[in-house]
């Protein structure tokens, strides 16, 4: 018998060879009906996989992130099968699950258009109705190469040839369709429902511009129609909130053909940006950080020393000055190393926290540029903390507290991920293990749930990433904490210890906004451009109803400006309803309507952006109300 441990702490015995499906149905028939896949001994398992050893089993449905990925990757196979049925000469590339959906890349003589979507969806419905079992088969290397060569699937053959010699090669079949795939998958095509094709794009094979350009079809799928409807509704809402459109309409920022990937900030956008930077400086002063500024262009030798030349060269911009090679900085950290080295340091100074709002440049392919979300020049709110080994845990916890302060203020919930050592990393196994364990310990001492991303750390150290959730249930990776034993070594950073000897400091790299430009883009979409009063470029608009009130409107505007508010008046000869609607369109938090009564009684009629008419108020009372809202940075 095999002993199976279940999530509720219970144990059950089964005959060896019992399938995951049979165990799930025995444990909970309702859960088994909803289930997508399972995890056995911490590895994803196919529904029909036979259990032959003791272990822990967890059944996953669509609510689980891994369950979603399996559901959608299976949907990608169905889409590929439909495309192959409709256009048999099409060659298959790859088709992974992605956030909120999936895609598949095809090499086809047929040029796909949105008009093809209904035809493909109809064929997918037929495949789902056929309820083909999805069957896993194991091949050796040569068998797999012959199998896909016979089908003229050249991209699959290339992938197989690049696998390690000892790799286990699995193929999943459904009806006449077969695909190279590590799995797992849902048990049959009939398990899938509610598929919607979304868009088309071009994509170079394996992301290399020297390779063929393939056609990518994006799609999504959900087990319930209501889920799909809700997702499509949110997509429509996202179009209305698109930061590129709002940035232009509200006079915040633009990206022009003369500078692709290099955003221009307009006067109102600079107000928003400056308020975010002022808040950053205020909070960092309180948290014991010193601000520095480092040059944008530095010598090649520095980037070779830091490791960026070997690990990041393709994303850097270069120039020659006085016959020497220089690079425009893609990151701020090497500059911080040089600042640290300008003085001798004692252990008594630690922790030493240095922050920089540093402009960096990274070469991005033109096809991935997207408003403020993906740019070639952006400002990182970097900080580097130099410390003693025994201070690591407390410093990480301090950064976590600061991140929480920022995201809570803006109304962003977030989740946390711990990323471990990647393949192209620097440093010893011992350093990586020590750094990873420190990050893990800090998270656990803070009581924070986290997900582990194996192999997704920076090349110089493991990291904690903060993924904030916006009003449309989208996630954005912004804040990060990276623990680094490598840079202090490469730059020969030292401090004088209690014993009078030189020692090597430990270092943290961290950002909170991540990129100020990108954070503004996220915040614009999260709020739909309706920024809280403390951030709003125009906080108050004064609206006289007729010419008779212009003198008093000027007096009110001046009083507001003297009180430190960003106030303006609209003296145009337009109807008051038109002025109010325009103020609403411009997302102004407060509009003060001034008629004869307000002029006579020296007050204002207050209209709030969300709450509407708040009635008559003395100007002094309104100033107190707004002052409190701005000082507390209320949402």
Residues designated catalytic: 333, 362, 380, 382, 384, 463, 509
Which element (helix H / strand E) includes 444? helix 429-445
How many alpha carbons lie under 13 Å from residue 387 in its C-beta half-sphere?
Answer: 20
Residues 446/400, Cβ–Cβ less than 8 Å: yes
CA distance 139 to 173: 13
Residue 169 CB neighbours (<10 A):
20
Closest alpha carbon to 372 in 235, 525, 475, 261: 261
User: Which residue has tokens 């004692």?
Assistant: 346
Residue 546 contacts by C-beta under 8 Å, 6 or more apart in sequence? 595
CA distance 72 to 69: 5
Alpha helices in 454-543 (DSSP H): 486-490, 516-527
How many alpha carbons lie under 13 Å from residue 138 in its C-beta half-sphere?
Answer: 4
CA-to-CA separations, 402 to 23, 260, 438, 510, 514, in angstroms, rounded = 46, 33, 18, 11, 13
For residue 380, cis peptide bond before it (omega within 30 degrees of 0) = no
State how beta strands 450-453 and 414-419 pair: parallel
How many alpha carbons lie under 13 Å from residue 291 in its C-beta half-sphere?
Answer: 12
Residue 515 contacts by C-beta under 8 Å, 6 or more apart in sequence? 375, 378, 379, 380
Residue 472 dihedral angles phi and psi, to the nearest 5°: -105, 20
| DSSP characters over 156-197 | HHHHHHTS-TTPPEEEEEETTEEEE------SBGGG---EEE
């Amino acid at each position: 018998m095999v002993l199976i441990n279940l999530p509720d702490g219970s144990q059950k015995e089964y005959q060896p060879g019992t399938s995951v499906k049979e165990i799930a149905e025995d444990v909970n028939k309702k859960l088994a009906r909803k289930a997508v896949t399972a995890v056995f001994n911490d590895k994803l398992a196919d529904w029909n996989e036979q259990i032959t050893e003791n272990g822990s089993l967890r059944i996953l449905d669509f609510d689980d992130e891994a369950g979603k990925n399996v559901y959608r990757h299976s949907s990608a196979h169905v889409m590929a099968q439909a495309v192959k049925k409709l256009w048999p000469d099409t060659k298959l590339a790859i088709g992974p699950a992605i956030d909120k959906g999936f895609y598949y890349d095809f090499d086809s003589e047929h040029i796909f258009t949105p008009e093809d979507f209904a035809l493909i969806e109809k064929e997918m419905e037929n495949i789902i109705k056929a309820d083909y079992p999805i069957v896993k088969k194991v091949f050796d290397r040569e068998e797999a190469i012959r199998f896909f060569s016979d089908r003229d699937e050249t991209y699959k053959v290339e992938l197989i040839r690049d696998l390690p010699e000892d790799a286990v090669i699995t193929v999943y079949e459904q009806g006449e369709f077969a695909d190279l795939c590590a799995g797992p998958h849902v048990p049959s095509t009939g398990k899938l429902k509610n598929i919607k094709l979304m868009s088309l794009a071009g994509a170079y094979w394996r992301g290399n511009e020297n390779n063929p350009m393939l056609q990518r079809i994006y799609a999504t799928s959900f087990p319930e129609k209501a889920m799909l409807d809700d997702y499509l509704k949110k997509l429509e809402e996202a179009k209305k909130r698109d930061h590129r459109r709002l940035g232009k309409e509200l006079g915040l920022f633009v990206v022009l053909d003369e500078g692709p990937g290099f955003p221009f900030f307009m006067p109102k956008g600079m107000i928003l940006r400056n308020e975010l930077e002022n808040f950053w400086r205020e909070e960092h002063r309180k948290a014991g950080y010193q601000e520095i500024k480092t040059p944008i262009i530095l010598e090649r030798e520095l980037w070779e020393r830091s490791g960026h030349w070997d690990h990041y060269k393709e994303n850097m911009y270069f120039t020659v000055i006085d016959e020497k090679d220089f690079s425009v900085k893609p990151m701020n950290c090497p500059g911080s190393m040089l600042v640290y080295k300008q003085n001798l340091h004692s252990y008594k100074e630690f922790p030493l926290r240095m922050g920089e709002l540093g402009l960096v440049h990274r070469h991005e392919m033109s096809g991935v540029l997207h408003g403020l979300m993906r740019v070639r020049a952006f400002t990182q709110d970097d900080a580097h903390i130099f410390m003693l080994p025994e201070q690591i845990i407390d410093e990480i916890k301090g950064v976590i507290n600061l991140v929480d302060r920022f995201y809570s203020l803006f109304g962003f919930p977030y989740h946390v991920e711990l990323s471990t050592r990647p393949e192209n990393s620097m440093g010893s196994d011992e350093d990586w293990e020590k750094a990873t364990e420190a990050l893990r310990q800090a998270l656990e001492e803070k009581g924070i749930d986290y997900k582990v991303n194996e192999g997704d750390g920076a090349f110089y150290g493991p990291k904690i990433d903060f993924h904030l959730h916006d009003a449309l249930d989208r996630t954005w990776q912004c804040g990060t904490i990276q623990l680094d034993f490598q840079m202090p070594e490469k730059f020969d950073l030292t401090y004088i210890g209690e014993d009078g000897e030189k020692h090597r400091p430990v270092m943290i790299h961290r950002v909170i906004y991540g990129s100020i430009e990108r954070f503004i883009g996220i915040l614009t979409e999260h709020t739909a451009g309706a920024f809280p009063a403390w951030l709003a470029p125009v906080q108050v608009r004064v609206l006289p109803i007729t010419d008779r009130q212009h003198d008093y409107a000027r007096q009110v505007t001046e009083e507001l400006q003297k009180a430190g508010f960003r106030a303006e008046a609209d003296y145009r000869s337009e109807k008051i309803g038109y002025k109010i609607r325009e103020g609403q369109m411009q997302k102004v938090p407060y509009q003060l309507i001034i008629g004869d009564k307000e002029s006579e009684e020296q007050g204002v009629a207050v209209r709030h952006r969300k709450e509407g008419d708040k009635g008559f108020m003395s100007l002094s009372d309104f100033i107190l109300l707004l002052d409190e809202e701005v000082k507390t940075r209320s949402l």
